């Protein structure tokens, strides 16, 4: 047996190949490291192990030891320590690596076990794959092909269980398809902290249900749909809308709070159909909130801005920029940036403010954090505004100081990058005193009052980065083409910065990053193209003393909580 390189590793033998794995690794994961696939249903790397599907059965052997002397028993034919193979199969998910442990994953016994388990799972399962929403990502279908017998011996009547059971506002259950893996039950209890699901009845009549008087309506309910290995749990929003193999997947980031959960946006021919979580063990594991999954609806919202307007009249972008230049030339300009803008947009907003010699404001958006994946800071990128130097302090929810400057006549025009100034405390009276240049995606009181309106793109229609609560910079990609009539924010901001008297700037992410790397010390060693899919932590030191709003969440502990936590542990 090879000696592991570190005391934290143990050497196990999988189908004759030795591999060193960290202590505590279960044999499904150990096999995965050697490229061996052990099929499973109930196991999930982020949930407790219950071992109730039996799909992961393997043969297991342990090194033989003389009970009297405790010394290894050597096999005279091989000259190696003899392996005592257990006469019965063992579940790999609940077997953790121990020194010298052997497993066989392809023996006739294992093949027989898998065929038996598949046969049991399928006897009451409906054969409705052609109309099932899970087609294309169904583990039962895949593993029936890979490990099943290939034919059914079941001639009895199948059980009839409830169909189209509404578990909650976003999740529908087809009980006939449920293979009783209990992943959804464990997720609700262990991650969502909402113990709402359980099994009723026994044997093949076991049925998943909500506890009496309860509904699956927590803000994480759709994760049960993601992890259901079959088509039993479906999303009421997505079901029957589109076959998954037609959909293009684009990596993105959840913008509903500063957590920055990693996501995949699924789209086809310019339409987004669903958003699901993307694994990032440092941020969101494999989960995301339901609220973040509905954000794609903003792309097709009836309130989308799709026409450049100057003085209420439909116009061209060139004319709008020229008109903005005339407003800028009069002086007295203030810039309101956004914690929803990307790092690149905030950088260009800062360049525009610098060229104007104007002060930049930001608007905070605070709510209650849920301690899981929605934080108190509902802006995804306040850290980006700090890092790019757009602002030096944390924002407040109201623009009262800007309002006073408007009242005093010091500020006579305001550029708003996507912020509704009216909602931030600048009432209609104040907005009437200034010329507003509004750069944004959706209509609001500010766009209605603006002298110049330039429609831009939603996060689903452009590329960029956000910096989350951990100071982790994360990339998002363009899933669908921009709305006709809207212009990329980077193009608009670069042109406005030039209209403000600044130099001509690149208006694509690549060239802006060349400038960011040269001018923003915290991002100096990076480039957009080489950022890992799971993001990169940057040095938060310069901003460590700021009183950020976030409390603890899944993988985040606020700096102010660290001493207390350390004391508790000590």
Whether the Cβ atoms of residue 483 and residue 299 lie closer than 8 Å to each other: yes
Near ligand SF4 by CB under 6 A: residue from 12, 101, 228, 467: 228
178 binds, among ligand FES, ligand SF4, none (CB under 5 to 8 A by kind): ligand SF4
The rounded distance, in Å, linking the Cα atoms of 526 and 529 is: 9
Q: Is 56 in the site for ligand FES (CB under 6 A)?
A: yes
Residue 57: strand, helix, or coil: strand
Nearer to ligand SF4, 181 or 540 (CB): 181
Comparing CA positions, the residue from 489, 524, 527 lying closest to residue 507 is 489
Q: Does 140 bind ligand FES (CB under 6 A)?
A: no
Pick one of ligand SF4, ligand FES, none as the site partner of residue 93 (Cβ within 5 to 8 A by kind).
ligand FES
Buried b (16+ CB within 10 A) or exposed e, 9-22: bbbbbbeeeebbbe
Least separation in angstroms between residue 45's CB and ligand FES is 11
CB distance 307 to 319 below 8 Å: no
Three-state DSSP state, 111 = helix
Among 20, 43, 227, 234, binds ligand FES (CB under 6 A): 43
Q: Is 125 in the site for ligand FES (CB under 6 A)?
A: no
From the list 51-59, 400-408, 420-428, 542-550, the region that binds ligand FES by CB under 6 A is: 51-59
User: Judged by CB under 6 A, does residue 355 bind ligand SF4?
Assistant: no
Contact 262, 534 (CB under 8 A): yes
Which residue, 139 or 350, has its beta carbon nearer to ligand FES? 139
Q: Assess contact for 21 and 10: CB atoms under 8 A.
A: yes
Binding of ligand FES by 289 (CB under 6 A)? no
The residues in 546-565 that bind ligand SF4, with binding defined as CB under 6 A, are none
Q: Is the dihedral of CA 379, 385, 390, 396 positive or negative?
A: positive
DSSP state of 440: E
CB of 183 to ligand FES, least distance (A): 10
Residues in region 184-213 near ligand SF4 by CB under 6 A: 184, 208
Residue spans of beta strands (DSSP E) within 177-290: 197-200, 207-210, 233-235, 248-253, 262-268, 271-277
How far apart are CB 25 and ligand SF4 at their closest, in Å?
24
Contact present, 455 and 444 (Cβ < 8 Å): no
Q: Which is nearer to ligand SF4, 138 or 358 (CB)?
A: 138
* CA pair distance 255, 283, nearest whole angstrom: 14
* Choices 40-48, 133-141, 291-299, 370-378 (CB under 6 A): range interacting with ligand FES: 40-48
Q: What's the rounded Cα separation, in Å, for the pair 90 and 61? A: 10
Regarding 93 and contact with ligand FES (CB under 6 A), the answer is: yes
40 lines the binding site for ligand FES (CB under 6 A):
yes
Q: Is 291 left (phi over 0), alpha (psi -120 to 50) or beta?
A: alpha
Q: Which of 30, 41, 466, 516 binds ligand FES (CB under 6 A)?
A: 41
Indicate which single residue of 14, 42, 113, 538 sits in contact with ligand FES (rule: CB under 6 A): 42
What are the residues binding ligand FES (CB under 6 A)? Answer: 40-43, 51-56, 91, 93
Give the footprint of ligand SF4 on this chain (CB under 6 A): 178-184, 208, 228-230, 232-233
């Amino acid at each position: 047996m090879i000696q592991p390189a570190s005391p934290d590793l143990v050497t196990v033998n999988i189908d004759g190949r030795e591999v060193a794995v960290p202590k505590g690794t279960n044999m499904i994961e150990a096999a995965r490291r050697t490229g061996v696939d052990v099929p499973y249903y109930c196991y999930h790397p982020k949930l407790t192990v219950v071992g109730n599907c039996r799909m992961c059965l393997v043969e297991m052997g342990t090194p033989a030891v003389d009970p009297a002397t405790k010394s290894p028993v050597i096999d005279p034919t091989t000259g190696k320590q003899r392996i005592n193979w257990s006469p019965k199969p063992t579940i790999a998910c609940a077997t953790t690596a121990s020194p010298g442990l052997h497993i066989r994953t392809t023996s006739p016994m294992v093949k027989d076990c898998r065929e038996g388990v598949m046969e049991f799972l399928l006897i009451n399962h409906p054969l409705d794959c052609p109309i099932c929403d899970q087609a294309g990502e169904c583990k039962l279908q895949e593993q029936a092909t890979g490990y099943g017998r290939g034919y059914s011996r079941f001639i009895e009547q199948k059980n009839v269980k409830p169909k189209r059971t509404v578990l909650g506002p976003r999740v529908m259950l087809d009980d006939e398809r449920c293979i009783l893996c209990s992943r959804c039950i464990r997720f609700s209890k262990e991650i969502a902290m909402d113990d709402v699901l359980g099994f009723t009845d026994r044997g093949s009549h076991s049925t998943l249900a909500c506890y009496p008087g309860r509904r699956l309506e927590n803000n994480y309910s759709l994760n049960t749909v993601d992890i259901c290995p079959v088509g039993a749990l479906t999303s009421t929003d997505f079901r029957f809308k589109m076959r998954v193999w037609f959909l293009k997947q684009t990596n993105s980031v959840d913008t509903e709070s500063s957590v920055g959960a990693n996501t995949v946006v699924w789209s086809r021919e310019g339409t987004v159909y669903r958003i699901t979580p993307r694994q990032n063990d440092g941020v969101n594991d494999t989960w995301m909130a339901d609220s973040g999954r509905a954000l794609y609806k903003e792309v097709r919202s009836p309130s989308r801005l799709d026409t450049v307007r100057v003085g209420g009249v439909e116009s061209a972008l060139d004319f709008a920029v020229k008109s903005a230049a005339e407003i800028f030339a009069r002086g007295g300009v203030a810039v309101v940036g956004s914690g929803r803008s990307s790092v690149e947009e905030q950088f260009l907003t800062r360049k525009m403010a610098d060229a104007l010699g104007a002060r930049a404001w930001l608007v905070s958006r605070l709510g209650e954090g849920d301690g899981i994946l929605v934080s108190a800071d509902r802006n995804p990128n306040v850290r980006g505004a700090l890092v790019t130097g757009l602002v030096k302090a944390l924002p407040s929810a109201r623009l009262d100081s800007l309002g006073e400057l408007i009242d005093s006549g010091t500020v006579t025009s305001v550029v708003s990058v996507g912020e509704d100034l009216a909602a931030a405390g600048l009432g209609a009276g104040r907005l009437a005193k200034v010329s507003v240049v509004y750069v944004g995606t959706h209509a609001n009181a500010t766009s209605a009052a603006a002298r110049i309106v330039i429609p831009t793109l939603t996060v689903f229609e452009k590329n960029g980065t956000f910096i989350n609560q951990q100071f982790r910079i994360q990339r998002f990609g363009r899933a669908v083409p921009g709305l006709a009539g809207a212009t990329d924010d980077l193009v608009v901001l670069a042109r406005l910065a030039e209209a403000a008297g600044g130099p001509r700037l690149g208006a694509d992410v690549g060239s802006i990053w060349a400038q960011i790397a040269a001018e923003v010390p915290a991002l100096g060693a990076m480039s957009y193209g080489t950022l890992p899919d799971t993001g990169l932590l940057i040095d938060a030191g310069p901003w460590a003393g700021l009183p950020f709003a976030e409390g603890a969440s899944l993988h985040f502990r606020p700096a102010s909580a660290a001493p207390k936590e350390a004391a508790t542990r000590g």
